[in-house]
Amino acid sequence: MRKYILLLLIIGIPLLAFNRKHLFVYDSDELIMDIQLLGLALVLLSLILSLIPKLRKPIFLRVLLIISISIVSTELILSYRSLQVFNRISFTNNYNDHNCDKLLERFEYDKTQNKFAYFEAGIGIDSEGIKREFKEKYNVDVVAIGLGCSGDSENHCYNMALMDYLESKK
């Protein structure tokens, strides 16, 4: 049982270090990672203590195994969530600070992928609703990108090209 705990520590410590360095997205992630670090330190200390013959009880090792599994699981969940945010930011950056001509070039590429962006101005846009509406109505994947209160006319150019394309596709 100790070798499984040690294996989880060998997986958990580098994964936590990777998460801290590359995938830290929200302030709450820092607190979660601090708790994970304390948990891993506790498991490591307990694993060392389990070398003492009096503490080699199976229940003690099972508890360590359960704690190790839960810590590594939360690290994997945090990594997955952070990667989703990173991918969305990377996708959105393909459309930032471009003039209308560059956005139209990007639109031509998006047509080959059948995945488009849709720019929406305003506070609190319903990106899932927009995504669902385009999927049901036109059978295309759309990533809704919120622009906040200010609508950019360059992005409007992309939306108009998208709507024209979808109408002609009907």
Tally DSSP H helices, then E strands, for the chain: 6, 2
Mean pLDDT of 2-27: 74
SS3 99: coil
Could you read off the pLDDT of 59-91 as tens digits, one per residue? 877 887 888 888 888 878 877 877 777 777 777
In the chain, the amino acid numbered 56 is R
- Whether the Cβ atoms of residue 114 and residue 140 lie closer than 8 Å to each other: yes
Mean pLDDT of 121-142: 72
Residue bearing the bigger pLDDT, 18 or 147: 18
Q: How many Å apart are CA 110 and CA 117, to the nearest integer?
A: 8
List, as one string, the DSSP characters of 110-170. Answer: HHHHTEEEEEE-BSS--HHHHHHHHHHHH--EEEEEE-BTPPPHHHHHHHHHHHHHHHHH-
Please report how the helices 58-93 and 27-49 are oriented relative to each other, as an axis angle in degrees rounded to 10: 150
Residue with structure tokens 């990377």? 90
Q: What is the pLDDT of residue 22?
A: 67
Mean pLDDT of 151-161: 73
Proportion of the chain in helix, strand, coil states, percent, rounded to 5: 75, 10, 20
